[in-house]
C-alpha cells in the first residue's frame, strides 16, 4: 500500500447516467490499480485537453471492499467540494502511463461503459503520486533508519495480474508497526485482493496479539480463510498464498506464511529463510489423512488432488477439505547485524536460491531499487510468473 493519505469513495453503475459518487468514506486505498480491464470510448474524446485518454485500455482498481459492503447510497444532489476535487488514477497498458481523471470526466465515461462492477474516485493528498502502482517505497516515522520498497511485474500468462502486496508503516496505539505482505493469487485475483484488505486488520484485532503473538497470527489466518470461504460465491473458486511480516517498533519481526511465497532475511551477508515452502510432497500424509491425494499427473510437480502445487493456501473452496490455511510463524529479534528482509512470490524463488537473491541486492542501499533489481534478475533467468517483491532494509 502507498504510505501517503489516500481515501476512496465509489459509485455503482447500472445505466443511470446521472449517478453521483458516494460521500467520501475514510479508509485506506491499496496502492494497486489493476485487473479490471475496460475499453475506453473510441468515438469520443474524454477530458481536457481533448483526446487525452481516448483509445486507451486501462486497468481499473478493484482492491477495496466489494459493492455489497457500501453503506451509503449515491448522493442525488450536486457534488460536494471534496468530490469535485477527487481524481481517479488509471494505469494505461497501451502507453505505460498513469492518467488522472476528475469526477466530471469519469461521469462522462460512465455514460459509455457499463461493464465494470464499480468505479472509484481517489482524493489525492499531498505527496501521493511519488510512485506508480507497480513500485513504491517509504520509511518509518520513528524508526527512520528502516526503509522499505516494493516492485511488481506482470508475468507472461494471459490472465490479469494476480499478485497483491502490502508495504507500509502505521501507528497502532503507541507502537509503530511495519506491515509487509505478498499475496500470490491463483485462478483469479479476488482472494489475494481480499487478503490485502483484511488479513492485517484481522491479525491486529486479535485480543492476545501483543502477548501471544504466534497464536494470534495463526488464529487470524484461519478466521480470515473461513470468511473467504463464506464469500466463495463472490470471491470465486480461486485462492492465494500469503507471506506476512509485522515489524514491531523496529525491533521484533513476526513472519507468517501459507504456500510458497517466501521470506528471507540477510544477516552478515548470509541468507536465512523465515518461512516454510508448503509443498504437497512434504505434506502428503496430512493431505491423505484429510481424504486427498498427491499426484504429479498432470504436470511435472506434485499437486494436491492433481490440481494445486501448494499444500496450504487461502480459498480454493473445492479443495479445502484437503488443504490447510494454518501458517507457520517465526518471531525474530532485529539485531545490529540484521541487514535486510526480502518478501517475494515464487516467481523469484523458482529461478534463484535464497543466497543468490541476497547476493544480488546486498550492495543496493535503496530498498525500492533493490526490489526492482531482484525482479529484473529473475526475469533474466527466464521466470515467467507474476512477480512481486518487497525489500525492508534495517541499516
**Predicted structure pTM score:** 0.68
Residue 326 has pLDDT above 60, yes or no: yes
What is the overall mean pLDDT for the chain? 72
Contacts of 329 by beta carbon, 8 Å cutoff, 6+ apart = 213, 214, 217, 218, 254, 255, 256
Kindly state the cell numbers that stand for 143: 524508526
Q: Confirm if 56 and 92 have CB atoms less than 8 A apart.
A: yes
Domains of the chain plus CATH, in order, are 6-124 (no CATH), 135-393 (3.60.40.10)
| Spatial CB neighbours of 97, under 8 Å, sequence gap ≥ 6 | 91
Distance (Å, whole) CA 128 – CA 223? 33
The model's pLDDT over 370-384, given as tens digits with 9 standing for 90+, comes to 999 999 999 999 888
pLDDT of residue 139: 82
Is pLDDT at 303 greater than 60 in this prediction?
Answer: yes
Say if residues 73 and 9 touch (Cβ distance below 8 Å). Answer: no
Alpha helices in the chain (DSSP H): 81-85, 103-110, 190-204, 213-230, 232-235, 284-289, 346-349, 354-361, 367-380
Q: Residue 209: is its pLDDT beyond 90?
A: yes
Residues 60-80, mean pLDDT to the nearest whole number: 34
- Note the pLDDT tens digit of each residue in 24-69: 232 333 222 223 333 333 333 333 333 333 333 333 333 322 222 2
pLDDT in tens, 129-144: 222 347 788 888 777 7
In tens, the pLDDT along 147-191 reads 999 998 887 766 667 788 999 999 888 899 999 999 999 888 889
pLDDT of residue 159: 63
Give the pLDDT score at 79.
46
Output 94 or 251, whichever has higher pLDDT.
251
225 near 314, Cβ under 8 Å? Answer: yes
**94-114: per-residue pLDDT in tens?**
344 444 444 444 444 443 333
Amino acid at each position: 500500500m502507498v504510505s501517503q493519505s489516500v481515501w476512496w469513495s465509489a459509485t455503482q453503475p447500472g445505466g443511470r447516467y446521472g449517478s453521483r459518487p458516494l460521500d467520501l468514506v475514510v479508509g485506506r486505498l491499496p496502492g494497486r490499480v489493476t485487473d479490471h480491464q475496460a475499453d475506453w470510448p473510441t468515438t469520443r474524446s474524454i477530458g481536457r485537453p481533448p483526446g487525452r485518454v481516448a483509445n486507451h485500455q486501462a486497468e481499473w482498481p478493484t482492491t477495496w471492499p466489494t459493492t455489497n459492503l457500501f453503506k451509503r447510497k449515491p448522493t442525488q444532489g450536486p457534488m460536494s467540494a471534496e468530490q469535485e476535487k477527487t481524481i481517479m488514477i488509471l494505469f494505461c497498458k497501451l502507453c505505460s502511463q498513469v492518467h488522472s481523471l476528475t469526477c466530471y470526466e469519469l461521469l462522462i465515461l460512465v455514460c459509455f461503459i457499463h461493464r465494470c462492477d464499480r468505479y472509484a474516485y481517489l482524493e489525492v493528498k499531498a505527496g501521493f503520486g511519488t510512485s506508480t502502482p507497480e513500485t513504491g517505497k517509504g520509511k518509518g516515522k520513528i524508526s527512520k533508519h528502516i526503509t522499505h520498497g516494493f516492485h511488481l511485474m506482470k508475468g507472461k500468462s494471459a490472465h490479469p495480474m494476480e499478485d497483491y502486496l502490502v508495504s507500509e508503516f502505521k501507528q497502532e496505539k503507541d507502537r509503530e508497526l511495519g506491515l509487509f505482505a505478498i499475496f500470490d493469487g491463483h485462478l483469479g485475483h479476488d482472494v489475494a485482493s481480499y487478503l490485502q484488505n483484511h488479513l492485517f486488520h484481522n491479525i491486529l484485532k486479535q485480543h492476545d496479539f501483543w502477548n501471544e503473538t504466534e497464536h494470534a497470527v495463526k488464529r487470524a489466518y484461519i478466521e480470515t480463510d473461513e470468511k473467504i470461504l463464506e464469500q466463495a460465491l463472490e470471491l470465486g473458486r480461486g485462492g492465494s498464498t500469503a507471506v506476512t511480516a509485522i515489524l514491531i517498533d523496529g525491533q521484533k519481526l513476526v513472519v507468517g506464511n501459507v504456500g510458497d511465497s517466501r521470506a528471507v532475511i540477510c544477516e552478515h551477508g548470509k541468507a536465512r529463510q523465515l518461512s516454510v515452502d508448503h509443498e504437497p510432497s512434504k505434506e502428503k500424509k496430512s493431505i491423505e489423512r484429510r481424504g486427498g491425494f498427491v499426484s504429479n499427473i498432470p504436470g511435472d510437480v506434485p499437486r494436491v488432488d492433481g490440481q494445486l502445487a501448494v499444500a496450504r493456501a487461502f480459498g480454493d473452496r473445492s479443495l479445502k477439505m484437503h488443504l490447510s490455511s494454518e501458517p507457520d510463524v517465526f518471531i525474530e529479534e532485529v539485531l545490529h547485524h540484521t541487514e535486510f528482509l526480502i518478501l517475494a512470490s515464487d516467481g523469484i524463488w523458482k529461478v534463484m536460491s535464497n543466497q543468490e537473491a541476497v547476493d544480488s541486492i546486498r550492495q543496493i542501499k535503496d530498498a525500492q531499487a533493490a526490489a526492482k533489481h531482484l525482479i529484473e534478475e529473475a526475469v533474466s533467468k527466464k521466470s515467467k510468473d507474476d512477480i512481486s517483491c518487497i525489500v525492508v532494509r534495517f541499516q
